[in-house]
Structure 1
Amino acid sequence: MSIEAIAESSAVSMTDDQIKEFLTEEGVGILAFPDEELPYLVPMSFGFDGSSTLYFIFLLFGSESRKETLATHAEKGRFLVYRAESLHDWQSVSISGRVDSVDDDEWDALRNAMQNAWHPDIFSSASPMRGVEGYHFQIDEWTGIQHGSPTA
């Protein structure tokens, strides 16, 4: 189904303020990087600074992380956040931008933004963990659509 067909079905575009509110409320989405033939997709907890930046914490296991490698080498990435309460009540925001590691002086901003992030319990018992890296996703563009109850 095309975006035009979705729009004709009573789904509507979200305003920038609705997108910001939605990103502030949600705490998990799907991060995608280009990778050879197929994109690499991974669910990620995230924080939003309320303006133009998403933050992630990568928990690194083993000697090599595909996610870390792709984040370092990809020029752009995509991030998808969605919520589906029912067939008639859902929101979806697609974001494109650049992912880079955070500098030492950005960790306070990362911690503040990550207040709403969802964190699966499985990682607390995983081992051996190599480390923790912080990343920011500078938003270049976003689009949002919704059907049913507006978020703002």
Structure 2
Amino acid sequence: MTRPQIESFLHERGTGVLSLTRDGMAYAIPISFAYDDAYHRCLFDLGFVPESRKHAFIESTELACFTTYEWDSPSAWKSVVLTGVLRRLEDIDLTNERSFYAEATEIEITVFDHPPEDIDHQWYEFVINDQSGRSSQVRIDSDAPEDDDSGGRDDGQ
């Protein structure tokens, strides 16, 4: 996928999987997101409960991975994998907050087994360092040579 195709796909999706690390362990969580093309970043509204495992992993992760994908059939799929730095935002401007709620997929927070009032919501930005996008039809990596011979196979993105 070309950069404009990747950006368009990021605007369309609304959910993905954020992968973090801590002491040699991986931790991946499904989350909602919005893509902010002005700053080439994703915005997350993350919820934390007391003694949050997610928070501990965020604190220890230097370089995170974020994946979003669409799968309709074995011959109709797309995926985008991003690597970057996750940073807490003390505040978010109204334009970005509106964009988040327009693009992000709404997720019920009852999955936390805590009352909603016990969940601490914090804004984060995922500043993209590298990106790749693939589809069942075409695969073009941002760092790959032009003459890709994968034939659309997923070869380990």
Do these two structures clear the TM 0.5 threshold for a shared fold by scoring above it?
yes
Alignment counterpart, residue 42 of structure 2, candidates 54, 62, 71: 54
Aligned-pair identity (%) = 26
Q: Give the letter aligned to residue 17 of structure 2.
A: I
Q: Give the letter aligned to residue 123 of structure 2.
A: G
Cross-structure match for 1:108: 94
Cross-structure match for 2:121: 132
**How high is the TM-score relative to the length of structure 2?**
0.77
State the superposition RMSD in angstroms. Answer: 2.2
1:75-126 deviations in Å (ceiling 9; x for gaps): 110001010011111001000000011132x342541331211122243994
Whether the aligned pair in 2 keeps the contact of 1:92 and 1:146 (CA below 8 Å) is: yes
Cross-structure match for 1:73: 60
**How high is the TM-score relative to the length of structure 1?**
0.79
Query: 1:40 and 1:24, CA in 2 relative to 1: closer, same or farther beyond 3 A?
Result: same
Distance 1:119 1:37 in 2: 32
Q: Give the letter aligned to residue 100 of structure 1.
A: R
Looking at secondary structure, tell me which structure has more helix per residue: 1
Unmatched 5+ stretches in structure 1: 1-13
Equivalent position SS for 1:34:
strand
What is the number of residues matched between the two proteins? 135
Distance 1:83 1:99 in 2: 23
Distance 2:134 2:106 in 1: 26
Query: 1:109 and 1:78, CA in 2 relative to 1: closer, same or farther beyond 3 A?
Result: farther
Query: 1:100 and 1:109, CA in 2 relative to 1: closer, same or farther beyond 3 A?
Result: farther
Say if 2:36 is the partner of 1:36.
no
Distance 1:37 1:74 in 2: 10
Distance 1:56 1:68 in 2: 13
Distance 1:120 1:39 in 2: 23
Q: Give the letter aligned to residue 147 of structure 1.
A: S
Bigger relative contact order, structure 1 or 2 (CA pairs below 8 A, ≥6 apart): 1
Structure 1 stretches of at least 4 aligned residues deviating more than 6 Å after TM superposition: none
Distance 2:88 2:10 in 1: 20
Equivalent position SS for 1:68:
helix
Whether the aligned pair in 2 keeps the contact of 1:72 and 1:100 (CA below 8 Å) is: no
Query: 1:101 and 1:116, CA in 2 relative to 1: closer, same or farther beyond 3 A?
Result: same
